[in-house]
Amino acid sequence: MTRSFLTRTPSLLIFIACLALFTIAVTLAAHYGLMSTSFVKTLGKTLCLCLAALAMDLIWGYAGILSLGHMAFFALGGYMIGMWLMYARTEEIVVASLMNSGLPATPEEIQQGIASQIFGVVGASDLPAIWSFAHSLPLQLILVVALPGLLALIFGWLAFRSRVTGVYLSILTQAMTLALALYLFQNDSGLRGNNGLSGLQNLPGLDAVSQDTISLWFFWASAAALGLAYLALSWIVSGKFGSVIRAIRDDEARVRFLGYSVEGYKLFVFTLTAVIVALAGALYYPQAGIINPAELAPIASIYLAVWVAIGGRGRLYGAVIGAAVVSLLSSWFTGGRAPSIPLGFMTINWVDWWQVLLGAAFVCVTLFAPKGIGGLFDAFAGLRAPDRKGAPLGPDQGSLQEKEAVE
Amino acid sequence: MSQLLEVSGVTVSFDGFRAINNLTFSIGPAELRAIIGPNGAGKSTFMDIVTGKTKPDSGTVTFGEKSASLLKLSEAKIARAGVGRKFQRPTVFEDQTVTENLTLALKAARSPWRVLGWRSKPADHARIEALAAQVGLADHLPRKAGELSHGQKQWLEIAMLLAQEPRLLLVDEPAAGMTLAEREKTTELLVDIAKTRAVVVVEHDMEFVRRLNCRVTVLHEGSVLAEGSLDHVTKNQDVIDVYLGRG
């Protein structure tokens, strides 16, 4: 009979257990002062990147759509939460400073004060219309999901309806994120141009709480979000929906003739993953403290694809492992802590050479280990794919292709 | 007499080349029909038109009792209306098990939200087992479709078509790559299916068509050259000239 959800996804319990142990270990280490606040933040941010990679795996590894623009949704999620953080934080400062002037401040004065505080840096003193909801946390939280979701819905509808697929779609998504980045770089885009939003690590109303506590809160929230997303996505891909999207990846024309609206499914997955990535971004940027349009650069989305490829496409834990390993290694190498290698005639300085190493690793994974790090688990479990050199399992011996077999 | 599918006066050109030229064709609700013709006669284009992959320049295609036009519908909607198609090379989802392949094809709601909430019921499972048994794959349900032999894949695809419960089946060279025993079984299966629904078999293997023992439509240069029993069309001088006479 049909097997239960848990037996179909044996990795789920292991993953949740590992995540829980990791969370407890980090919490204890931070509590006893064995781990710096900045490292807790790095780990928390890494969990957010893992969450984004999870979504990337759903759309690329399962549905076969190589989107090179998902980090745009990540950054948009960050911008949406950042607007509230910055507004509420500035409001506190403005109210406090107006208190000193003797007369109670009017709402207009406060509004004016906030606007000139935030936008003085780009030479404006009015709050743009897109900041209309920035005073309200619930509204801005809705926007975290709604704005990237809507953008993905419209973009996806236009792209999939025209049956843009493969590399053309990848280019189109990349153009989308680049266009968005260029737009946000403008000072009059209403999001402070290339200054971006800053001071996001300071939570409004929580001045009394120190950053080491806040960093742990965000770490826990990131871990919980990753765990919940893993649970939800495991459930989605283990059922018939997962079967349909894998079928679309392998042969979309056939799926169409089975009566499934391929475009509808692609749009669904594109929007769903955009929303997940946006949530990851909304958890990431308060830990990073700053967001600017450079975060929407196409390279960020390409990194996302590289993580998933190195970790192993088409399996959820692969994406998480890839994102964690590569982004932690990246911060180690680029943090200047990796020892340089003197070669006599030159010195390999990892801050510069890390990207070469990453690129080489990506090429090697693509050529020699298409299953990525996740493939190690298969090797461990003794699963091996037959080596047919890419040829399909052809007709049997004795079958005839064109002519009727004779008796 | 009410026909299930009626194609009339259909013309399609690709860059000036008339792939289908004023084609008229109809089939009843429970009928087996073979379409033969030399390469380039328009057999595949005909199937593309009926399944919605290609839109004709002129003409009408109607389906069902209400004679609803298929021309404005997408491929997916035509499939849901009850037209199933089997491609020449077996196109099963090789990375998925036989059960998963059949589950995908099983007649059920097709919208993403409904599929997300879909859970296998005992009736579904029984239906999958029955279909697998019908095509001789009952022992292979948990295997990946990619591991099956070529003939088994062809059957799996036929079972997937049956799972869709279509009213009209379009089958492109079903016996290609099959052994003799497999071909005989395929013949039986097609004849059996045609008792309850319309089946159009595109084939250029005369022996196979003879076994099907049904009405034959001969296509040539995008239009119908002759129609009738196999013996009738093979005696037709035009048919001999363009097709049979060539060796």
pLDDT at residue A401 tops 50: no
Alpha helix stretches (DSSP H) within chain B: 43-51, 75-81, 98-105, 112-116, 122-134, 150-163, 180-193, 206-212, 230-235, 237-242
Q: Which CATH superfamily is domain B5-246 in?
A: P-loop containing nucleotide triphosphate hydrolases (3.40.50.300)
Nearest Cα to Cα of residue A320 among A303, A307, A301: A307
Decide if A393 and B74 are in contact by the 8 Å CB cutoff.
no
Domain ranges in chain B are 5-246
What is the reported pLDDT for A226? 96
The 10 Å CB-count burial string (b at 16+, else e) for A83-117 is bbbbbbbbbeebeeebeeeeeebeeeeebbbbbeb
Estimate the share of chain B in helix, then strand, then coil, as percent rounded to the nearest 5: 40, 25, 35
Nearest Cα to Cα of residue A244 among B95, B56, B141, B85: B95
Query: pLDDT of A26-64, one tens digit each?
Result: 999 998 988 899 999 999 999 999 999 999 999 999 999
Query: pLDDT of A155-173, one tens digit each?
Result: 999 999 999 988 999 999 9
What is the reported pLDDT for A390? 56
Query: How far apart are the CA of B156 and the nearest CA of chain A, in angstroms?
Result: 14
What is the reported pLDDT for A386? 59
Query: Regarding predicted confidence, which is higher, A359 or A341?
Result: A359
Which of the four pLDDT bands, split at 50, 70 and 90, describes residue B40? confident
Decide if B116 and A399 are in contact by the 8 Å CB cutoff.
no
What is the reported pLDDT for A385? 63
Here the tokens at position A2 are: 């049909």
Which of the four pLDDT bands, split at 50, 70 and 90, describes residue B246? low
Cβ(B70)–Cβ(B99) below 8 Å? no
Q: Does A396 touch chain B (CB under 8 A)?
A: yes
Q: Chain A residue closest to B105 (CA)? A: A258
Sign of CA dihedral A44, A46, A49, A51: negative
Which of the four pLDDT bands, split at 50, 70 and 90, describes residue A402? very low
Mean pLDDT for chain A overall: 88
pLDDT at residue A336 tops 70: yes
Which of the four pLDDT bands, split at 50, 70 and 90, describes residue A392? low
Query: pLDDT of A76-104, one tens digit each?
Result: 999 999 999 999 999 988 888 888 877 77
CB atoms within 10 A of CB B22: 14
Which of the four pLDDT bands, split at 50, 70 and 90, describes residue B78? very high
What is the reported pLDDT for A63? 94
Chain A residues touching B169 at Cβ < 8 A: none
Cβ(B94)–Cβ(B144) below 8 Å? yes
What ipTM score was computed for the predicted complex, to two decimals?
0.87
Cβ(A261)–Cβ(B113) below 8 Å? no
What is the reported pLDDT for B222? 86
Residues 6+ apart with CB under 8 A from B59: B7, B8, B9, B10, B11, B22, B23
pLDDT at residue A272 tops 90: yes
Q: Which of A234-243, A343-352, B166-175 has the highest mean pLDDT?
A: A234-243
Secondary structure (3-state) at B142: coil
DSSP class of A2: P
Distance CA A243, CA B100 (A): 7
Chain A residues touching B147 at Cβ < 8 A: 393
pLDDT at residue A381 tops 80: no
Query: pLDDT of B51-73, one tens digit each?
Result: 998 899 999 999 988 888 998 89
Query: Regarding predicted confidence, which is higher, A243 or B2?
Result: A243
Q: Chain B residue closest to A5 (CA)? A: B119
pLDDT at residue A399 tops 50: no
Decide if B93 and A402 are in contact by the 8 Å CB cutoff.
no
Could you say which residues from 356 to 395 on chain A have a Cβ atom under 8 Å away from some Cβ of chain B? 392-395
Rounded percentage of chain A residues whose pLDDT exceeds 70: 93
Nearest Cα to Cα of residue B37 among B13, B21, B57: B21
Query: pLDDT of B195-233, one tens digit each?
Result: 999 999 998 778 888 888 899 998 888 888 888 888 888
Which of the four pLDDT bands, split at 50, 70 and 90, describes residue A383? low
Chain A residues touching B144 at Cβ < 8 A: none
What is the reported pLDDT for B244? 59
Sign of CA dihedral A296, A300, A304, A309: positive
Largest Cα–Cα separation, chain B = 59
What is the reported pLDDT for A404? 47
Decide if B179 and A405 are in contact by the 8 Å CB cutoff.
yes
